[in-house]
Chains A and B, each alone.
Chain A
């Protein structure tokens, strides 16, 4: 069975500072990995995804994530955050192939402080 862990429930960071949101997964097979963002009072939208190929994935709004198979991690990073990045971020994992569903983490609330 697959699982995903987001250890940080909240991350406060000053505007223009860098940020890293951590995501670790567990699976016995190859995986697909996703990061979604949820702005207040909205649904989730895709930030970026890793299916195969380059382990460094670039997404929207200047975010990127690196797939590290040996550490089973898929941390999300941004070199300089803006107030508008204040949102909740969800990591998700799915075993590649087959009919298993996506599993979401519990989310990390990013609070950007002016």
Chain B
């Protein structure tokens, strides 16, 4: 089954404790991205990747890091999480920039 898998689905952490949210897709898609969803703000792109070893900032990259060492994986790293990063995070992939995106189930992160 074609899918985007994120882990974990739910995470509560404390300020400053490094964490990683994993994202994996099995569709051989080139383009992957991370979004955060906040009430009233819709989806805002954090980082995206056009292909292996090619990443770039989206609209709200501050406080986040990503890597794309393999085509299927695109982890999101929060080196020192802060409460304003409490949000619902989605990973998405698409064949390329001009095709529809497939989304993961989301990761609800709470930073206390």
Contact = CB atoms under 8 A, between A and B. Distances in A.
A21 B14 CA distance: 39
Q: Mostly helix, strand, loop or mixed at chain B's interface? A: strand
Nearest to A32: B98
B50 interface: yes
B103 A106 contact: no
Given A43-B105, A43-B106, A44-B103, A90 B98 contact: no
Instruction: Give the size range of A's interface with the partner.
Output: 20 to 34
Nearest to A42: B105
Interface residues of B, number: 22
Interface of A: 6, 9, 32, 34, 36, 41-46, 49, 51, 90, 94, 96-102, 104-107
B43 A101 contact: no
B48 interface: yes
Contacts of A102: 97, 101
